[in-house]
Structure 1
Amino acid sequence: MKIMSALLCALLPAAPPPDPVHLTVDPRSLPLTTGPCNARELSVRLANTSTQPLYADAELSAPRALHLQRTLVSTWLPAGYTSTVPVRVSATTGTPPGDYRIRVGAIDVPVTLSAPAPSATLVTRAAEVTAASFRAKNPICAATDGDPATFWSDGTTKYWPDWFQLGWNTPVTVSRADVTTPPGNGLRDWDVQVWSGGWQTVASVRGNTATTRTSRFPPRPTSAVRILTLSGNGLGDLSRIAELTVS
């Protein structure tokens, strides 16, 4: 009997060794709101559980309705090391709400996609967030992420004017713009403009040294608002906006 068992084991294919790379994703489900700057992040973690260094990959895929910052995470892992890579996930305005799924390696991440609530801020409801230019480390959405420690900056040193713009698919009514700039090296001069068959200046700020300045003006229906930047307060003379809110 023991001989038969030994022969059977010899004939069966050997079990594959366990994968030394342990893949995890956080969060395991993702609520997401449509809009150019309403992205959420998935943290893709690759852990080397072996005693030898190695390369590790994780492929990502999603329906065309969702936009992934990257579709491949590839990293060098020393023995016992874990690498965490953030991957931004977004969906453009007008994408049908519903349930979607992102595949990360062998892991499925459910995504619940919804449109911004009618009570959401005008920035959250914007269908377009654009700028004259930007730098990779200071992207456009850094001026609408709710974090004053991050900021958008233009990509042209000592070249004026620049602009930062919010746009909506249907007209909204605006009467206020709050501009927050980095302390000490933010914006000095700018105009607040609304679109009405052409750009119209509704408020101007000159000689600013404050971190946040509020501009109020008579209510105006419009499909777009932009900040036309005219000069900065030193440090390379760039346009820098940490936060822009309109209401």
Structure 2
Amino acid sequence: MRARAIVVLAAMVLGAVVPGSVDRQSLTLATDVAQVAVTPVPCSTSGFELRFGNSGKTAVYADAFLDAGTSLTLSRKLVSSYLPPGYTLKVPISVNAPRGTAPGSYSIVVKAGSQKLTLPVQVGEPPTDTTGNLARYVPVTASSEHLPVYPACGAVDGDRDSEHWAKTTGWNDATKGTFPDWLQVAFDQPQSVGRVDLYTLNSKQYPAAGYGLKDWDVQAQVGATWQTVAEVRGNTAGLKSSTFTPVTATAIRIRTLASNEGPTYSRIVELEAYRS
């Protein structure tokens, strides 16, 4: 009983209500857009701003639950907050359609108290690569990701410009001082691969000779085994193209061994794979 009294007293001091007595009718839900458009490719995320408010005269602690079904991915599925009287919390929500998601109409349902909001989502047709780059628009994974700024998909988003590093493109591992790291792309079906281009960090502020990848292996998954098809050592350039006798592979992996900055991070701006 004493613990209950302390909770009630704390709530009164904060001007809030005791959990369980939330005025469910006072909660409000809104978004800044009427519809979200999404393209099902890696790192292509759209989003909206969830506006979660309290129109009542008493402060409340409240939860908003977001559900996009199994086809879409949301940056968060729960927003829990203290809402003073007349206050509206604005929360950015990212929406992603995994590769292979069928084009069409979907929806995101948001519930808070007795309130319910449905936001339409339109998933478009996946783009078609016309450059011959086999690594574009395919699933990508990494040994680790320095999130949220440097996801693995940032290395296959089509942006080779190191000046965009830490802004819109690039992968960076999350294990400082630990090598090897790896970045891998997987194909829907076996592909003949004879050349891999790797763009490492090479901007005016961060030149490759000081911050880019120095040593790495190019590996191909042939059948059930990984084969090293090329080795790069002592690199100081922003772009290194590795050519080798074509192999039929289901995946390509970069196994990083050293950086020009010393034992710090693996940094890849873009990874591309070609038949020859």
Q: Which residue of structure 1 lines up, in the alignment, with residue 250 of structure 2?
A: 223
1:49 to 1:240, Cα distance in 2 relative to 1, 3 A = farther
Distance (whole Å) between structure 1 residues aligned to residue 154 and residue 196 of structure 2? 20
CA offsets, 1:155-190, max 9 Å, x none? 333322211001111234443423232624332111
Q: How many aligned positions are there?
A: 229
Distance (whole Å) between structure 2 residues aligned to residue 242 and residue 78 of structure 1? 44
Aligned residue runs from structure 1 range 72-91, under 5 A: 72-76=78-82, 83-91=89-97
| Structure 2 counterpart SS, 1:157 | coil
Distance (whole Å) between structure 2 residues aligned to residue 88 and residue 124 of structure 1? 22
Q: Which residue of structure 1 lines up, in the alignment, with residue 14 of structure 2?
A: none
Letter in 1 for 2:200: T
> Is the CA contact 2:26–2:54 (under 8 Å) kept in the aligned structure 1?
no
> Is the CA contact 1:116–1:124 (under 8 Å) kept in the aligned structure 2?
no
Q: TM-score, normalised by structure 2?
A: 0.66
Letter in 1 for 2:249: T
Aligned residue runs from structure 1 range 54-65, under 5 A: 55=61, 57-65=63-71
Letter in 2 for 1:125: Y
Displacement of 1:98: 2.4
1:191 and 2:191 aligned = no
- 5+ residue gaps, structure 1: 1-15
Q: Which residue of structure 1 lines up, in the alignment, with residue 199 of structure 2?
A: 179
| Structure 2 counterpart SS, 1:242 | strand
> Is the CA contact 1:177–1:192 (under 8 Å) kept in the aligned structure 2?
no
CA offsets, 1:42-73, max 9 Å, x none? 33234567898655543211222222232112
1:242 and 2:269 aligned = yes
1:112 and 2:139 aligned = no
| Structure 1 counterpart SS, 2:140 | strand
Q: Which residue of structure 1 lines up, in the alignment, with residue 141 of structure 2?
A: 130
2:156 aligns with one of 138, 141, 144: 144
CA offsets, 1:63-119, max 9 Å, x none? 222222321122345677654433232333334332211123433222222452333
| Structure 2 counterpart SS, 1:118 | coil
Displacement of 1:33: 3.1
> Is the CA contact 1:194–1:222 (under 8 Å) kept in the aligned structure 2?
yes
Query: RMSD of the TM alignment (CA)?
Result: 3.4
Distance (whole Å) between structure 2 residues aligned to residue 78 and residue 242 of structure 1? 44
| Structure 2 counterpart SS, 1:70 | coil
Distance (whole Å) between structure 1 residues aligned to residue 185 and residue 215 of structure 2? 19
> Is the CA contact 1:193–1:200 (under 8 Å) kept in the aligned structure 2?
yes
- 5+ residue gaps, structure 2: 1-22
> Is the CA contact 1:46–1:56 (under 8 Å) kept in the aligned structure 2?
no
Letter in 1 for 2:184: Q
Percent of residue pairs identical: 40
Aligned residue runs from structure 1 range 13-92, under 5 A: 19=26, 21=28, 23-26=30-33, 28-35=34-41, 37-46=43-52, 55=61, 57-76=63-82, 83-92=89-98
Letter in 1 for 2:187: W
Distance (whole Å) between structure 2 residues aligned to residue 110 and residue 246 of structure 1? 36
Displacement of 1:23: 2.6
Letter in 1 for 2:259: G
